Each structure stands twice: as structure tokens, then as C-alpha cells.
């Protein structure tokens, strides 16, 4: 079988040392390089630098990773020559030039390529002949203070092209990295041997798992806000509840539309997916359904919290107005008496009496005391 030009023969190295390479075409030595001591398989030359937006590219046969220091063109040629295995290419926010070249190499549809470059797509599943194109929205939770109005949920996108002999993952956003997904799959050759469908399932499973963790964090926020709203001495700003509700709405827009694509993947037997993959996707669908229902509960709970908080503010305002009215009524008595005696008429009661002033002051205090007792008995003060 032909070996691609950039995939040199591999030797097993059991210890560190310097490897000297000779160009067999000219019989001239090439620069040597040092390979750190370890047991495993290593290339005979340093890996060529990958383009900046290519995260990883590897060939998998029977669930085992073969040459990984390769370009996607040579990797695809190797898979087609072998007539087995598949290529897994990982891209991070590819530009038009790179994505167009990838599309020409793997035969991707122009509409799907446009979506992969521009991003900002709703979760969806599209089929182009024997190629599946799945769009998923990723989410990340930001730690924050309970009464803050900062951003709580950050969103991104992951797109998966699953073809007969390749899987291409395109990620937008600086979270939900797929290196862990690839590592977990490589540790399970039996699952990886199921082909590109295994990559599609693993990515969907990881994304839905992040939905579960984010909703668990938001559930704690909702519970904390409920406690704060119904605690008399606690003053929680309504703006914080509105902010959390807005973030829950954004989370719902990212999560809920994925329900239909997952149902199609699990129920449509005409799709080019192994039966075993559809079984695994049913578990992902169950988790997604539970998360969707939980998000809807959050929306209802926060709406009720907003109403409760507004009612609490209204009751507090009524209480404050009653207190102000009571004190204003108490202040009106001495104001009225002082106003009468301030009219400066010559013939007024008790003007010439020695005890007139203290009697008037005592009368003011007595009347104010009676009003205070009355308002206090009626819970106005």
C-alpha cells in the first residue's frame, strides 16, 4: 500500500536520544533533532507546522489512531487507499480560505460551509447526500455575585460534519474544547471503531453534559434568589432577577432547538448512522429533554420571583407611606396650635396667664402621644 509522502516510516523508541535523518534521494544528512525519552511510536522527523486554525488531524483505523502529523489532504488519501478507517479533522474558527479548501477536499456542500464560517446558527441537523451536518450551541457559566447584573451565560457553537470516511468538527468560541472528547474516544477503541458517527455522538454528549452542569449552577442561583426574596431583612435588587431571567432565556434559545435534531438522529433509520450510535444518542436525548424541562421551570420560577419581588416592594412602599402619613398627622397638631397662637391677635386665651405657655406645650405633647398610641395600636407605626 502506498504511504503518503508526508507520512514517514515510524520506529519504536524506547529511550531518549538524538535521531539523525538522511535524505535517501540525495544521500545527504538532514538536521538532527532530539526525541525525549519515552516508550511509544514516534515519527522520524519533526512534525510540520499546522495551519493556525487546525487544532488536530488524525487517521483512525479500527479505533486506533495512526499517523497524526499529517495534512488533511494526505490523511484522506490514506483512508481512501486503505478503504477503511476515517479522518478526524478539528478546526477552530476557520476562515473562508481554509474552509473552502477543506470543502473541496472532503466534498462539503457550499451552504454548510457558509454556515461553518459565519456561525451564529440555531441548532439544526441537515443532510447532504451521505454527509450529516449538525450544529450545536455551547454554553458556559460565569461565577458572579447574587445581586450583580453581569453576564452569567456565555454561548458558542460547535459544528460536526460526519461523512462516510471523515468527521470534521468546527468550533466557535473559547470554551467547550474538544481535546478531552478526542482523548476519551481514543481511550475507547471499540466506540471509536464505529466510525464518524462515534465522533458526532461524543461531541453531542459533551455539549449536553455542559448543559447539565450549567443548569445545575443556575438552579443554585434561582434557589438563592428565592431565599433572598422571601427573607424580610434581605434587600435583593429586582434588576438581578431580571438579569438572571434574561440569561435563562438565552440559555433556552441555545438548548431547546437541539431537541428536534436529536429526535431525528435517534428515530430516522435512513440516516447514515450505525444502529449502535442511535442507541447512544437516545441517552443524550433523554438528558437533553430533562435539561429543557428544567430550563422551562427556571423561567416560570423567575417570573413568579419577579412578581413576588414587585409585590414585596409595593407592600414596603405602602408601609412607608403609612408611617409618613402617621408622623405627618402627629406633626399637624403642634403646627395647628402654633399657627393659631402666631396670628398676633391682642385678645387671645391665656396670653396674660403665667402658666399659659407650659400648658400649651403640655397639650401638644399629650395630643401627639394620643395619636402615636392610636397609630401604633393599628400597626401604622
Residue 298 and residue 247 share a domain: yes
Least confident of 82-86, 241-245, 254-258: 241-245
DSSP state for residue 236 in the 8-state scheme: -
Looking at the domain assignment, is residue 83 inside a domain? yes
Q: Which of 233-247, 316-330, 344-358 has the highest mean pLDDT?
A: 233-247
**pTM, rounded to two decimals:** 0.71
Residue of 261, 277, 245 lying closest to 158 (CA atoms):
261
Q: Count other C-beta atoms under 10 Å from residue 189's C-beta.
A: 13
> Which band of pLDDT confidence, cut at 50, 70 and 90, is reported for residue 120?
confident
Do 245 and 220 lie in one domain? The reply is yes
* Res 67 pLDDT > 50: yes
Mean pLDDT in residue range 137-158:
86
- Alpha-helix residue ranges (DSSP H) falling in 93-157: 96-106, 110-118
- Whether 266 has a pLDDT exceeding 60, the answer reads yes
Distance in angstroms (rounded) separating the CA atoms of residues 276 and 197: 9
Q: In this structure, are 137 and 25 located in the same domain?
A: no
142: Cβ contacts below 8 Å, ≥ 6 apart: 150, 151, 152, 153, 154
Determine, yes or no, domain membership for 7. yes
- Supply the pLDDT for residue 119: 79
Instruction: Give the pLDDT score at 347.
Output: 66
With beta carbons less than 8 A apart as the criterion, state whether 82 and 49 touch: no
Same domain, 366 and 307: no
Do 162 and 32 lie in a common domain?
A: no
**Judgement on whether residues 147 and 187 belong to the same structural domain of the protein:** yes
Spatial CA neighbour of 147 closest among 241, 57, 262, 53: 241
CATH number at residue 333: 1.20.58.340
Average pLDDT over residues 237-263: 90
Which grid coordinates belong to 233?
431583612
Nearest Cα to Cα of residue 176 among 204, 197, 151? 204
Beta partners for residue 125, in sequence order = 134
Q: How many domains does the chain have?
A: 3
Residue 303 binned pLDDT confidence (cut-offs 50, 70, 90):
confident
> Are 177 and 195 in a shared domain?
yes
Q: Quick one: DSSP state of residue 46? A: P
3-class state of residue 51 by DSSP: coil
Q: Tell me, yes or no, whether 237 lies in a domain.
A: yes
Q: Residue 317 falls within a domain, yes or no? A: no
Residue 303 counted as domain residue: yes
Domain holding 300: CATH number? 3.30.460.20
Q: Does some domain include residue 95? A: yes
- Residue 11 pairs in a beta bridge with 42
Is 64 among the domain residues?
A: yes
- As a dihedral over the C-alpha atoms of residue 215, residue 150, residue 92, residue 82, rounded to 10 degrees, the angle is 0
pLDDT at 346: 67
Has residue 20 been placed in a domain?
Answer: yes
Residues 345 and 261 in one domain: no
**Same domain, residue pair 53 and 12:** no
pLDDT at site 330: 78
Q: List all residues 6 or more positions away from 97 whose beta carbon is below 8 Å from its beta carbon.
A: none
Chosen domain end from 312, 334, 357: 312
For the chain, the maximum distance between any two Cα atoms, rounded to a whole number of angstroms, is: 133
Lookup: cell for 90: 478539528
Give the C-alpha distances (Å, rounded to integers) separating 33 from 16, 18, 19, 21, 45.
11, 6, 6, 9, 8
- Lowest average pLDDT, out of 21-35, 107-121, 298-312, 331-345, goes to 21-35
Q: Do 211 and 133 share a structural domain?
A: yes
Report how far residue 220's alpha carbon sits from residue 378's, in angstroms, rounded to the nearest whole number. 40
Question: Are residue 12 and residue 99 in the same domain, yes or no?
Answer: no
Give the single-character DSSP code of 49.
Answer: P
13 or 196: which leads in pLDDT: 196
| Ordered DSSP codes for 141-208 | E----TT--S--EEEEEEEEEE-SSEEEEEEESSSS-SHHHHHHHHT-HHHHTT-HHHHHHHHHHHHH
The pLDDT tens digits of the residues spanning 178-191 come to 888 999 999 999 99
**Can you give the residue range of the structural domain that contains 196?**
47-312
Select from 312, 336, 351 the last residue of a domain.
312
Mean pLDDT, residues 132-161 taken together: 88
Q: How many CA atoms lie within 13 A of 184 on its CB side?
A: 12
Query: Do 160 and 275 lie in a common domain?
Result: yes
C-alpha cell at 319: 408601609
Amino acid at each position: 500500500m502506498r504511504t503518503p509522502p508526508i507520512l514517514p516510516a515510524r520506529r519504536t523508541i524506547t529511550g531518549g536520544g538524538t535521531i539523525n535523518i538522511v535524505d535517501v534521494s540525495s544521500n545527504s544528512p538532514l538536521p538532527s533533532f532530539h526525541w525525549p525519552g519515552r516508550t511509544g511510536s514516534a515519527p522520524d522527523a519533526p512534525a510540520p507546522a499546522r495551519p493556525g486554525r487546525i487544532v488536530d488531524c488524525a487517521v483512525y483505523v479500527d479505533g486506533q489512531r495512526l499517523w497524526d502529523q499529517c495534512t488533511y489532504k494526505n490523511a484522506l488519501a490514506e483512508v481512501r487507499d486503505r478503504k477503511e478507517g476515517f479522518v478526524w479533522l478539528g478546526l477552530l474558527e476557520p476562515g473562508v480560505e481554509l474552509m473552502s479548501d477543506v470543502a473541496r477536499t472532503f466534498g462539503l456542500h457550499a451552504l454548510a460551509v457558509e454556515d461553518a464560517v459565519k456561525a451564529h446558527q440555531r441548532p439544526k441537523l441537515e443532510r447532504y447526500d451521505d454527509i450529516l451536518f449538525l450544529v450545536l450551541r455551547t454554553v458556559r457559566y460565569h461565577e458572579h455575585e447574587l445581586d450583580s447584573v453581569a453576564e452569567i451565560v456565555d454561548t458558542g457553537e460547535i459544528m460536526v460534519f460526519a461523512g462516510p470516511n471523515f468527521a470534521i468538527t468546527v468550533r466557535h468560541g473559547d470554551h467547550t474544547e474538544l481535546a478531552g472528547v478526542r482523548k476519551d474516544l481514543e481511550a475507547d477503541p471499540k466506540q471509536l471503531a464505529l466510525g464518524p458517527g462515534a465522533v458526532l455522538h461524543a461531541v453531542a454528549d459533551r455539549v449536553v453534559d455542559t448543559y447539565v452542569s450549567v443548569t445545575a449552577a443556575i438552579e443554585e442561583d434561582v434557589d438563592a434568589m428565592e431565599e433572598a426574596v422571601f427573607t424580610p431583612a434581605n434587600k435583593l435588587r429586582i434588576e438581578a432577577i431580571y438579569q438572571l431571567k434574561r440569561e435563562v432565556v438565552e440559555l433556552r434559545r441555545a438548548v431547546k432547538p437541539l431537541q428536534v435534531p436529536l429526535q431525528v438522529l435517534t428515530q430516522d433509520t435512513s440516516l447514515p448512522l450505525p444502529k449502535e450510535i442511535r442507541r447512544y444518542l437516545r441517552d443524550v436525548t433523554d438528558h437533553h429533554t430533562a435539561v429543557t424541562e428544567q430550563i422551562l421551570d427556571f423561567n416560570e420560577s423567575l417570573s413568579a420571583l419577579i412578581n413576588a419581588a414587585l409585590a414585596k416592594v409595593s407592600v414596603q412602599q405602602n408601609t412607608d407611606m403609612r408611617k409618613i402619613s402617621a408622623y405627618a398627622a402627629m406633626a399637624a397638631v403642634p403646627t395647628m396650635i402654633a399657627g393659631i397662637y402666631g396670628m398676633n391677635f391682642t385678645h387671645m386665651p391665656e396670653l396674660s396667664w403665667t402658666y399659659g405657655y407650659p400648658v400649651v406645650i403640655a397639650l401638644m405633647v399629650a395630643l401627639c402621644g394620643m395619636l402615636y398610641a392610636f397609630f401604633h395600636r393599628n400597626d401604622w407605626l
